[in-house]
Amino acid sequence: MRTGDYKQTYGELVALIDSPPVWLWSAVLLLALIVAPYALNAYALSFLTIILITVTGALGLNILTGYTGLISLGHVGFLVTGAYAYAVLVSKYHMHPLVGFLGAGVVPAFASLIVGAPSLRLKGLYLAITTLAFSFIINTVILEARWLTNGARGISVQRPEILGISFDGDAAFTHLCLGIAILTLFATLNIRRSRVGRAFVAIRDNDTAARVMGINLHAYKLFAFVTSAFITGISGALYGIYLSFVSVEGFPFLLSIEALAILIVGGLGSALGAVLGAILIVLLPEATRLVFSLFSGQLDATFTTGAQELKSMLYGLVIILFLRFQPRGLVGAWHDVRRTWVHWPLRY
Amino acid sequence: MTFLLTVERLSKRFGGLHAVADVSLDVTAGEICSVIGPNGAGKTTLFNMISGVLRPSGGRMVFDGVDLSTVSPWRFAAIGIGRTFQNLALFKHGTVVENILTGRHTHLRSNVLNAVLYFGRTRSEEIAARQRVEHIVEFLEIEHIRDAVVGTLSYGQQKRVELARALACEPKLLLLDEMVSGMNQEETEDIARFVLDIRDELGITVLMIEHEMRIVMDISDRVHVLNFGRKIADGTPDEVRRNPAVAEAYLGRQRAEAMKAGA
């Protein structure tokens, strides 16, 4: 059995990483992720890229739904707004890609104020339905504003070149996604361990007590919406660049469900959970396809034709299974494993 | 004499029900003041109005020279009113330390952007807050549970964490809603000692709702008695004990008269 780490300054108590082994493993993981794009084949690399983009988006939703407890079914609305903001700024008006990314964050953030305003009064299911309506309204607005968005024709997007570095190659683009995912992870972890994050969690757990502690509920709910939409918008821009074509069809409603599934499977309100959940949910359809292809080619073909339908069935299934057997999500399972490991051979 | 809190003809109606009707009371700085009364007398409703959870239907509250009707509910903590809740209102997924840190909210300044960077002033104010929390943990003798998740603690311990969280706000006036209900003798004595220390060492004025008469009579400077939403008596613990109206409210008229005849 290991003993605990003894801390000698208050600074150590607020540190994100407080033990040398964790530092070491994080460094090893980071190194592996940097090298991976050169080692993996194109097929595996596309999954890594998608996972990184999804992690960014899931971390965005986690701030709103995980931390603050406001359920959003309309996060695909922020994804698509971010993607279009980037596409319009960079492809149509030939602005710098950095301006594009800034726009991809700021435009959804403003849009979120419109959805956020009703959230000050609505709770639970009612809020979920309001956000759901928002995502459909956004789609209609994009289809109708042809002068700006080309309507249903969509906008094609090039891989960007930032500060002289071209992100045209697949490996380079993965590195861009990796960089943004890591920045997002640190941003959410920092929010969580600060006054703002504690206010979010306080609102989720007990809003009356939160107000008595001096937390301005209206302001902080809007902060949660804006921060969440900003991050989700950036993720949307990356997804648009990855697809190299931004259109309303590229962002189906299923993505909203996928995002919620990620949080539930990973463990609500945990950044680590969002990361683990994103990995599982992105790989799940592929893993299932591989398993099925072992049995017969017929099933494999079904998978290709009805991919969307099968995906939504799979998401539904894992959500139910996790809620029933592991409600704390993957992160809960991880904590149990870690506790067993630390206390072994004692039981507690 | 200057009052920290003045409540004038305060009332609250829920539909046709007068939960609190024309209640006036004053709290002097440095006092330990109790509000007692039978169940449903309107004590908690009164507290909810003083702490900004409910808006009064009528009357006036002045706290530290500020008319509370001009203050937004979420700013009550910032001007110096802290409270605990009768039925625990902790953030149950957080650890004890996190809960108490939340109480520091009004004393910290960082906004979303500072928080994202967590650098310089944001980091140093977090460290200072953490240090401050450690003092409170020590003051209330909860060192051994500081990293425990609040939902896993016993009722008495959770009450103590609530007290710690309220103290982290550094209030001028602390409202304690039935701190010792459901506690055993030893826990009750601990809380009584803490309440005295809070007043004497931290200089915080205490207004508490309490059913446990021994603690009320032992440590209060003044006692206010409510019944059916109205104030029926106030005074020192001894005066209140001898007041026939109070005996009547608690025991009913016949029993009260019988007791008086017996005494």
pLDDT tens-place string over residues A256-281? 999 999 999 999 999 999 999 999 99
The yes-or-no verdict on residue A56 having pLDDT over 60 is yes
Least confident of A28-37, A120-129, A299-308: A299-308
**Interchain contact, B93 vs A269, CB within 8 Å:** yes
| Closest chain A CA to residue B97 | A13
Identify the three-state secondary structure at position A7: coil
Q: Does A339 touch chain B (CB under 8 A)?
A: no
For the four alpha carbons of B9, B15, B17 and B20, in that order, the dihedral sign comes to negative
| Interface contact flag, A211 B53, Cβ < 8 Å | yes
For residues B7-28, average pLDDT: 93
Q: Would the CB atoms of A209 and B91 count as touching at under 8 Å?
A: yes
| Residues in contact with B29: Cβ distance below 8 Å, sequence separation at least 6, in sequence order | B2, B3, B4, B172, B205
Contacts of A210 in chain B (CB under 8 A): 91, 102
d(CA A106, CA B209): 49
Distances (CA, A) of A23 to A9, A189, B110: 18, 16, 27
The answer to whether the CB atoms of A199 and B74 lie below 8 A apart is no
pLDDT in tens, B181-216: 888 899 999 999 999 999 999 999 999 999 888 899
R_g over Cα of chain B: 20
* pLDDT averaged over every residue in chain A: 90
Interface contact B77-A227, CB threshold 8 A: no
* A266/chain B closest Cα distance in angstroms: 16
Pick from B52, B76, B110: which is nearest to A195 by CB? B110
* pLDDT tier for residue A298 given thresholds of 50, 70 and 90: low
Contacting residues of A for B94, CB less than 8 Å apart: 198, 201, 205
Distance CA B155, CA B87 (A): 10
Task: Pick the closest to residue A68 from A197, A232, A219 (CA basis).
Answer: A197
Mean pLDDT of B147-156: 91
Closest CA to B99 of B129, B75, B119: B129
Whether B94 sits inside 8 A of A201 (CB atoms) is yes
Would you state the pLDDT for residue A232?
Answer: 97
Q: Are B240 and B227 in contact (CB under 8 A)?
A: no
Do the chains contact at A199 and B105, CB–CB below 8 Å? yes
Q: Which residues, 6+ apart, have CB-to-CB distance to B10 below 8 Å?
A: B20, B22, B23, B24, B46, B49, B56, B58, B59, B60, B61
Candidate from B98, B127, B169 with C-beta closest to A198: B98
Q: Is the confidence at residue A330, as pLDDT, over 60?
A: yes
- Picking from B53, B110, B116, the nearest residue to A212 by CB comes out as B53
To the nearest whole Å, the CA of B248 is away from the closest chain A CA by: 35
Give B-chain residues touching A187 at CB under 8 angstroms. 116
B55: chain A residues, CB-CB within 8 Å:
none
Q: Is A205 on the interface with B (CB under 8 A)?
A: yes
Asked if residue A307 has pLDDT above 80, the reply is no
For residue A329, give the H/E element and its range: helix A329-343
**Quick one: CA dihedral A185, A189, A195, A200, positive or negative?**
positive
Chain B residues in contact with A201 (beta carbon < 8 A): 91, 93-94, 98, 102
The span from the CA of B177 to the CA of B44, in Å, is 7
- Residues 116 to 145 of B: which have CB under 8 A from any A CB? 116-118, 122-123, 126-128, 130-131, 134
Backbone region of residue A269 per phi and psi (left: phi > 0; alpha: psi in -120 to 50; beta: other values): left
What are the residues whose beta carbons fall under 8 Å from the beta carbon of A309, sequence distance 6 or more?
A: none
Q: Cα-flanking dihedrals φ and ψ of residue B227, to 5°? A: -150, 135
CA distance A197 to A220: 10
- Single-letter residue type at A279: I
Query: Which burial class, exposed, middle or buried, applies to A154 when counting CB atoms under 10 A from its CB (0-12, 13-18, 19+)?
Result: buried
Query: Cβ contacts of residue B3 below 8 Å, gap of 6+?
Result: B26, B27, B28, B29, B62
Task: Compute CA distances A336 → A306, B54, B152, B163, whole Å.
Answer: 37, 42, 16, 31
A-facing residues of B in 27-86 (CB < 8 A) are 51-53, 72-78, 82-83, 85
Burial code of A250-267, b = ≥16 C-beta within 10 A, e = fewer? Answer: bbbbebbbbbbbbbbbbb
Beta carbons within 10 angstroms of residue A310's beta carbon? 17
- Cβ distance A208 to B89 less than 8 Å, yes or no, reads yes
Q: With DSSP H G I counted as helix, E B as strand and the rest as coil, what are the percentages for chain A, rounded to 5?
A: 80, 0, 20
CA-angle at B25, arms to B20 and B30, nearest 5°: 135
Confidence of residue A150 (pLDDT cuts 50, 70, 90): confident
pLDDT level of residue A212 (50, 70, 90 thresholds): very high
Structure tokens, A331: 């992160």
Residue of chain A with shortest Cα separation from B93: A205
Residue with the larger pLDDT of the pair A7 and B240: B240
Residue A181 CA to residue A175 CA, distance in Å, equals 10
Q: Is B156 on the interface with A (CB under 8 A)?
A: no
Select the highest-mean-pLDDT range: B38-42, B135-139, B240-244: B135-139
Q: Which two tokens stand for residue B130?
A: 């953490």
Supply the pLDDT for residue B74. 93
Please tell me which of the candidates A206, A213, A217 has its beta carbon nearest to residue B77: A213
**Chain A: closest CA distance from residue B241 (Å):** 33
pTM for the predicted model, two decimal places = 0.92
CB contact under 8 A, A10 and B75: no
The one-letter amino acid at B103: G
Q: Are B94 and A205 within 8 A, CB to CB?
A: yes
Please choose, from the candidates A270, A280, A279, the residue with its C-alpha nearest in 3D space to the C-alpha of residue A332: A270
Whether residue B165 lies within 8 A of chain A, CB to CB, comes out as: yes
Can you give the pLDDT at residue A1? 45
Kindly determine whether residue A194 and residue B126, on different chains, have CB atoms separated by under 8 Å.
yes
d(CA B168, CA B139): 11
Strands annotated E in chain B:
3-14, 17-28, 32-36, 58-63, 66-67, 81-83, 173-177, 205-209, 222-227, 230-235
A195 contacts in chain B (CB < 8 Å) = 104-105, 108-110, 115, 126
**What distance in Å separates residue A103's CA from the closest CA in chain B?**
17
Classify residue B46 by burial, with Cβ atoms within 10 Å: 0-12, 13-18, 19+: buried
Dihedral angle at the C-alpha atoms of B105, B109, B111, B115, nearest 10 degrees? -80
The secondary structure of B9-54 as a DSSP string is EEEEEETTEEEEEEEEEEEETT-EEEEE-STTSSHHHHHHHHTTSS
Q: What are the angstrom distances between the C-alpha of A195 and each of A198, B112, B126?
A: 5, 9, 8
- The C-alpha atoms of residue A59 and residue A206 are separated, in whole angstroms, by 22
Structure tokens at A67: 């931390």
Distance of alpha carbon A236 from alpha carbon A79, whole angstroms = 4
Closest residue of A to B116, CA-based? A187
